[in-house]
Amino acid sequence: MTVSPTGAVKHDDARQARSEAAARRLLLSHAYKGRKRFCPRCRDETVYILADGRLRCGACRYTFHELTGRFVNVGGLSCRDWLRLTRLFARELTASTMAEELGLAYNTVYRAVTVLRFAIVAAAPDASQILFGETGRAMGYDGGRIVMSRDTASEGPIPVFGIIERPDWTFVDLVPDMRVEHVVHFNLSFSLKVARLGKVVYTDRYQHYDALMFCGGDDVRRYADILDRTPFLDTRRGGFWSFAQSRLRRFNGVSARRFPLYLKELEFRYNHRNEDILPILLTYLCSLVPKREQSDLF
Ligand SMILES: [Zn+2]
């Protein structure tokens, strides 16, 4: 057991990460939360153990193992490495520092961190809207399959988010049918203030949002003409925008279409900023990857 500076007793995940069996037990406890084993395909609880240790569903005959169909099963990491990596991710280390600390290849770590970010999005209330629309496809979420290298020709429009700030929480909302061209139009025709932070473009208040926000990617400079004055977010002290600014500056390599993963991660971190996020991240990591046909469940 370890004691944090606040005196709270924490999970000794370092000890659990020492052996693969202990790490697996911990992840399974997050996956099932005391529930009986159930089929990841039809959710039936009539499950038989086969001679080789795999499980079979009594209802649909699907053969699986205990972590099949969950985010933790994507990426090829051992349970022990997942546990160690998630701990470093909770501390906001960069992928290259994590790779060094874990002794893993950078690409392996980058892929795992992307899987974690998808798991965070999947736990958000607006998950199905993000994951199953054109935004999800452009991010590399293909109906429940995570595609790391995408065909750039098939990319859709750049997603635009609305930020809602309240004293204690924030909501980062994908605004349906809002296009970057609309933001430019609002700026030119209705004097909506627009500013830029690195590759991120954000506006003044719009309807019930405190800002509209999108990532301009590598051609962010094309929006230079529309930048002016000080949008509402920059007039406030503290809150989500102060929290997000320093972090967004670090996301320099982010592409416009993967940006939702980073923005929803910031929303998650901000809304849980006074909590130990490691157990929450482990629960998200061990949750089922939402499939298209189950989208009505989310
Ligand atoms: Zn089944």
pLDDT digits (tens, 9 = 90+) for 243-265: 998 888 876 667 777 889 999 99
56: CA distance to ligand 1 center in Å? 8
CA of 295 to the centre of ligand 1 (A): 17
How far, in Å, CA of 298 to CA of 296, rounded? 5
Q: How far apart are the CA of 64 and the centre of ligand 1, in A?
A: 9
**What's the gap in Å between 286 CA and the centre of ligand 1?**
18
In this prediction, residue 291 has a pLDDT band, given cuts at 50, 70 and 90, of confident
Distances (CA, A) of 231 to 168, 184, 197, 236, 261: 21, 14, 12, 10, 24
d(CA 60, ligand 1 centre) in Å: 4
Predicted confidence at residue 232, as pLDDT, reads 87
SS3 128: helix
pLDDT of residue 8: 38
> If you measure from the C-alpha of residue 138 to the centroid of ligand 1, how many angstroms do you get, rounded to a whole number?
30
Q: Which helix (H) or strand (E) holds 162?
A: strand 161-165
Kindly state the tokens that stand for 267.
Answer: 């929303």
d(Cα 192, Cα 38) in Å, to the nearest integer?
A: 51
Residue 21, phi-psi category: left (phi > 0), alpha (psi -120 to 50), beta (remainder): alpha
Say which residue the tokens 């693969």 belong to. Answer: 20
Q: What's the pLDDT at 245? A: 87
Question: In which band, very low, low, confident or very high, does the pLDDT at 92 lie, cut at 50, 70 and 90?
Answer: very high
Res. 282: pLDDT tops 50: yes
**Which pLDDT does position 154 carry in this prediction?**
52
Confidence at residue 13, expressed as pLDDT on a 0 to 100 scale: 59
Q: How far, in Å, is the centroid of ligand 1 from the Cα of 59?
A: 5
